[in-house]
Chain A
Amino acid sequence: MSKPIIQMIGVNKWYGTFKALTSVNFTVNKGDKIVVCGPSGSGKSTMIRTLNWLEAHQEGKIIVNGIEMHKKMKNVDEVRMDVGMVFQHFNLFPHMTVLQNLMAGPMWVRGIKEDEARSTAMKFLERVRIPEQAKKFPGQLSGGQQQRVAIARSLCMKPKVMLFDEPTSALDPEMVSEVLDTMIELAKDGMTMVCVTHEMGFAKAVADRVIFMDEGSIIEESDPVNFFDNPQNPRTQNFLSQILQH
């Protein structure tokens, strides 16, 4: 059995007095594709953002790449370099071209030469199928294209694991599938992924495990077939019946 890339052990987190995560246990092994879902405000974003410590946790252990995340750590940036993150609102750098967005990370924090960074960037732009947009600014692209650039930007850092926080929920409906297709390809290439999403098609296509969260805890975790066809917890059943109603 391979060493886990990410481990959360008994994690508790508070925002002030509000408890956002309650004894979360969670392991990501190399090659895992994990889908996280749950109602709004259930702590999905909080959970995924503690994985690269954009948010701090207060109790329990989070170990990424063998390094424990804590307040006094010196090498948080090294951990983050290896953990790609894709946001709901893309968060591209609007003052830089697409190509510059992709080259920034490798050049500025990995110390990679400009030529090499450019060829890597072009390679990943081709993989997300928008090499012709390289010279444009993010504001000139559609939402779906921007999100694919954001995915390519993360990939240029050669991450060991990719985190996605609702990557398609800010998109117009007709652009959802182009982003999902990119993510499915990525999964097929063996990338380790943790995705917060409500896209059931995506979950069924690639997930090894689906995790259901409610009120800050993981209340169900199973393979996608069982999760969708045979949910155990009544809150999961309720949630699924709501999103599948349409």
Chain B
Amino acid sequence: MLFADTVVPDPAVHKPKVMAIMLAASFVIFSLMGLNDTVLGEFMRPAIGEPTESGLFGNLAIGLVISMLFTGNIVLIGFLPFRIQVLVVWLELLLLFLAFFYSFGLDFAFIRSKVWFMISQGVFTTLYISAISITLASIVAIFGAVAKLSSNGFAYAIASFYTSFFRGLPLLMQVYLIYLGLPQLGYVIDAVPAGILALTLCYGAYMTEIFRAGIQSINKGQWEASRSMGFKFGLTMRRIILPQAMPLIIPPTGNQFIAMLKDSSLVSVIGVWELMFLARTLGNKDFKHMEMLITAALIYWCLTMCLEVIQSRIERHYRTISH
């Protein structure tokens, strides 16, 4: 949170003017939506008679009821303390979102029959490809960062060429180039290694900058103290500089991991059986595309939420040990 002031004004949603505007605006919007042929019309049947025949009157009546519920809900939430407010708004948005999916008339039996396979095969593949790639990318990034900070022209040139190239091309194109291009050179490469290689090289290029910034942020006094005791470059880097840079490097690396988890969906184009690939193929035979896509979307979302929680723990951990 921002640094809060000591004076607490009334919440905006409790000002009569704001309430009135909210009510009026939502009344107009809900009325214009013409809701009398939806499930809401059914609820209002006692008041408006046969919904489909209620016309303008039906729409206005439904609009009025919904807008009053909507405004009342917001005003009530305004009374809650911060944490509960957050929770309630989250749950309401989530419910709306699920209701939206529900309105597609999805085949839940079909989802139930496939979801276990999506998790055991798809999530597993997605996670292990991402984990291997982020590990390899970190190693690439250490060397990239040292090269970029080096006074050796070759090392600097190669490293900056590498980062420029791999940050400059779309990841999807890199996946194709590696999977289809390497065989042209006589190296046939399987889909999984090709995917890992593409993710490693691309994220290695981004993470080179993270590592470079981490290394550079260490006070030069640490180099001087090491040097004055006769430590050589590699020793200083390994035992003095990198251990101190890690608290600065690990949190953004966690963010990269979350991003990579989603970007790993791009390797589905070369037939790796990860989550996205399964989402596209499992529903094909029975024309149940939406079912599988929505399931995969929710799985991705759950995964990243779990990782974000872990990530914020890690960040807090490193914030507390560094100060």
Q: Which residue of A lies closest to B224 (CB)?
A: A54
Tell me the bound Cα distance from A80 to B232 in angstroms.
Answer: 11
Q: Please give the number of chain A residues whose Cβ is less than 8 angstroms from any Cβ of chain B in the complex.
A: 24
The answer to whether A91 touches B221, judged by C-beta atoms less than 8 angstroms apart, is yes
The answer to whether A95 touches B244, judged by C-beta atoms less than 8 angstroms apart, is yes
Tell me the bound Cα distance from A94 to B240 in angstroms.
Answer: 9
Quick one: which of A89, A94, A95, A157 contacts B229, CB cutoff 8 A? A157
The answer to whether A109 touches B231, judged by C-beta atoms less than 8 angstroms apart, is yes
Chain B residues lying within 8 Å of A92, measured Cβ to Cβ, are: 225
Given contacts A104-B239, A108-B235, A108-B239, contact A91 B230 (CB under 8 A): no
Interface residues on B, range: 10 to 19
Chain A residues lying within 8 Å of B227, measured Cβ to Cβ, are: 54, 80
B228 interfacial by beta-carbon distance below 8 Å: yes
B226-255 with Cβ < 8 A to chain A? 227-232, 235, 239-240, 243-244
B222 interfacial by beta-carbon distance below 8 Å: yes
Tell me the bound Cα distance from A77 to B243 in angstroms.
Answer: 22
Chain B residues lying within 8 Å of A80, measured Cβ to Cβ, are: 227-230
Chain A residues lying within 8 Å of B225, measured Cβ to Cβ, are: 85, 87, 91-93
| Minimum CB–CB distance for A108 against chain B, Å | 6
Which residue, B222, B224, B243, B244, has most C-beta atoms of chain A within 10 A? B224
- What sequence of 0s and 1s flags, for each residue 177-219 of chain B, a beta carbon within 8 Å of any chain A beta carbon? 0000000000000000000000000000000000000000001
Chain A residues lying within 8 Å of B221, measured Cβ to Cβ, are: 87, 89, 91
Chain B residues lying within 8 Å of A105, measured Cβ to Cβ, are: 229-231
Given contacts A104-B239, A108-B235, contact A91 B229 (CB under 8 A): no
| Minimum CB–CB distance for A155 against chain B, Å | 11
The answer to whether B229 touches A81, judged by C-beta atoms less than 8 angstroms apart, is yes
Chain A residues lying within 8 Å of B224, measured Cβ to Cβ, are: 54, 85, 87, 91
A99-158 with Cβ < 8 A to chain B? 104-105, 108-109, 153-154, 157
A83 interfacial by beta-carbon distance below 8 Å: yes
Chain B residues lying within 8 Å of A181, measured Cβ to Cβ, are: none
The answer to whether B231 touches A108, judged by C-beta atoms less than 8 angstroms apart, is yes
Q: Which residue of B lies closest to A105 (CB)?
A: B229
The answer to whether A77 touches B222, judged by C-beta atoms less than 8 angstroms apart, is no
Interface residues of B (CB under 8 A from A): 219, 221-222, 224-225, 227-232, 235, 239-240, 243-244
